[in-house]
Structure 1
Amino acid sequence: MTSSPRHEGMTGYLTRRRFGQLAALGLVAGVGSVGPTSSAVATGADARVHYDRARRLAGSDPVLRALVAALTPGFDFPRPPAPAPIKLFDNLAMLSVGWVSAMAVLTDDGIVMIDALTSPAEAESVLVRGLRELGADPETIRYVVVTHGHEDHFGGAQYLADHYGARVLMSPADWDLVARTRPANAPTRDLDIADGQRLTFGGTTIQLHHTPGHTPGTVSPIIPVRAGRERHTAMLWGGTNPPTTPTELRTYLASIHSFRARMRQADVDVELSNHPGDYGLQRAEQLRSRPGRANPFVLGRPRTQRFMAVMDSMLRGRLADAEAGNARGASRSHGAAVQRCC
């Protein structure tokens, strides 16, 4: 598959100049302080120990600092402009509306989508159009792996099923979540994802691991990627925005631990996200503007493990806050958003 020229003038797309302007103003995810926002809740001494450790682990690393910010209580998830579609690797494309992204795994026999954005309209205007712009054929979409049962991740899945015959996969727990909540644009129940399932298609094997916490059945993939002769292994954490109750937070922490071990076994050295709380949009623009330079999504194995260590410390802080009763304000202000996004 060959890349076609990028059309920066397309409506809603984020040009490099505009991106630089937004970054200078601190309006793009991950830019600025990693401390709490103005809406942050009170934090107890026990929680601060964990938050401080996360900040020390992050140091000056922009990816890890962005993660600390995204997991800080009271953080308001940004709504940056949409970037143009881009191949992050030879066999992996990012198709984004800014605040939420989907990934397309490009195999010898067709395409596996990881998530499907928010609606049929975005499936058509962003996913289908973006794939064509990158030289990929949306007619070959065969699977849509939905990381979790929120509309910003499955909203375009039924469109892809109806137009291209794609099979839609989700964990049983999140198929049940969708059935209970009956959100708009919900796909018809299709294939279940078992914990640790391997989806092999077109010579590519994607590992799908249950990582509940954000939702009851969040799934995090591990994906082989390539750039020229280089071979790497990528992970995508399926649901970043933490829950608010101690029970759910403990589940989230357990998922961090299990997935971190699976990352280690798979020699993961690339970090991806379906939301911009990991400095991902900035890294995509770096990749676009500096062809031939080191790929900024390749963190290396130690740094991807440190990414999970930062997440672990931040979640321990969130749990300490919740157990101390200091998260009531965050629950009131963010409870609705947790049910539908991120």
Structure 2
Amino acid sequence: MTSQLSCCAFSVLYKSLILTASLTLCSQAQAQISISPEDLVKQGLLAGANYPGLTSLCEIDRPLKIAGDRRRSINKRSPLTDEERAQRAERSMLAPLRVFDNLYFVGNRSVASWVIQTSDGLILIDAMNSNRQSEAIIAEGIRSLGMDPNDIRYLIITHAHGDHYGGQEYIVNEFKPRVVMSEADWTELEKPEPEIFNPKWGLAPTRDISIEDGHVIELGDTKVELYVTPGHTLGTISLIFPVKDGQQKHMAAMWGGTGLNFGPNIERLQMYTDSAARFKQLADNKAVDVFLSNHPTRDNSVERMQALLQRQIDQPHPFVDTNATGAFALLRDCSLARVVKISNYQDRVQKNTP
């Protein structure tokens, strides 16, 4: 692949990003972005300043790694003792919490599951790593918050990595929800060897509901909008849905897959950039003022939940942010910075090649 972007791709980029950067058009149906990667990073960090958990994506001098396949490396490690496993679980523990009147956190410090409560049952977002976690953390967390896991009607799996689907077997067998993923990620999990695998993950789900971009799940009094935002995986799902805080109504947007775990792949980075740009526009149009992730260190949920526990009656909700969609601007700009940096490098190599 050459270092330059086609005019068609550039046009999509420009319209979706609406960057203030100056752009240099080339002849022969080619275009090149002249803003520097460093300036893109500054722009992204400024926009997403309220979400320091995302800033590692902007460290463009650190090489991007491909998430390892642990089929082989897992065998080289000594298995954890029961005591070590218990200590690790205790360190990662995070108490279940009602974050909004209709939205609950049931996960740990590493990976989140969220529960949307509707007038006709529960919608569960993601199932953690394993059946053990889904039973001990998700199901027990739901019960401790005064709900019944038998009321789970849908399990939405945001993407085809096992830290989000690994506990689905227990959830599906016990509570019989419909399982929702995108077509691309169903297809990924049906391959003999998926892109990323870890033996600690539970079984992949059996194909059930395959959604298209813009699909709406309506359950009781609640509508959840699902958008396909490829990049992290080819079929990552991101969500927009209403949340309530007393008499106040807000709109939440959950980014379905954060890390750039596919190496210096310019096509995937461009895909990620375009998805973040488009989802920011969707979120802006829906007046989103709550940013969520399925990893609580990414959206600063750990700190915001601590603040929520100490919230006084007259204080604003710590998850509500009028600049919530700035998180998507950070994701957009910092992934684009990688695109430009790789493109510039490829251009230099091309010029120096006889």
State the TM bucket, normalised to the shorter chain. 0.7 to 0.9
- Larger Rg computed on CA atoms: 2
- Deviation sequence 1:58-78 (CA, Å, 0-9, x none): 4xx4x333322344344999x
Q: Which residue of 2 aligns with 1:9?
A: none
Q: Which residue of 1 aligns with 2:171?
A: 160
Alignment of 1:207-218 (within 5 A): 207-218=225-236
Q: Which residue of 1 aligns with 2:316?
A: 294
Q: Which residue of 2 aligns with 1:200?
A: 218
Alignment partners' CA distance in 1, 2:190 and 2:309 = 40
Q: Secondary structure at the match of 2:138?
A: helix
Which one of the candidate residues 289, 314, 327 is aligned to 1:307? 327
- TM-score, with normalisation over the residues of structure 2? 0.73
- Deviation sequence 1:72-119 (CA, Å, 0-9, x none): 344999x97221001110100011121110100011111100111111
Alignment partners' CA distance in 2, 1:65 and 1:124 = 31
Structure 1: gaps spanning 5 or more residues: 1-44, 327-342
Which one of the candidate residues 335, 339, 344 is aligned to 1:319? 339
Amino acid in the other structure paired with 2:328? M
CA shift, 1:216, in A, is 0.4
Alignment partners' CA distance in 2, 1:325 and 1:129 = 51
Alignment of 1:59-98 (within 5 A): 61=49, 63-73=50-60, 74=62, 81-98=92-109
Alignment partners' CA distance in 2, 1:313 and 1:225 = 28
Which one of the candidate residues 237, 247, 250 is aligned to 2:270? 250
Q: Secondary structure at the match of 1:83?
A: coil
Alignment partners' CA distance in 1, 2:207 and 2:216 = 20
Q: Is the 8 A contact 1:69 1:277 kept in 2?
A: no
- Deviation sequence 1:191-228 (CA, Å, 0-9, x none): 10111000000210000000000000000010111011
Q: Which residue of 1 aligns with 2:280?
A: 260
- Check 1:152–1:107 CA distance in 2 against 1; reply closer, same or farther (3 A cut): same
Q: Secondary structure at the match of 2:51?
A: helix
Q: Which residue of 1 aligns with 2:42?
A: 52
Alignment of 1:1-20 (within 5 A): none
Aligned Cα root-mean-square deviation (Å): 2.2
Q: Is the 8 A contact 1:222 1:236 kept in 2?
A: yes
Q: Secondary structure at the match of 2:232?
A: coil
CA shift, 1:136, in A, is 1.0
Amino acid in the other structure paired with 1:298? V
Alignment partners' CA distance in 2, 1:262 and 1:165 = 32
Q: Which residue of 1 aligns with 2:24?
A: none
- TM-score, with normalisation over the residues of structure 1? 0.76
Q: Secondary structure at the match of 2:252?
A: strand
Structure 2: gaps spanning 5 or more residues: 1-34, 68-88, 347-354
Alignment partners' CA distance in 2, 1:159 and 1:71 = 37
Pairing 1:107–2:122 present = no
The count of corresponding residues between Structure 1 and Structure 2 is 276
Amino acid in the other structure paired with 1:209? Y
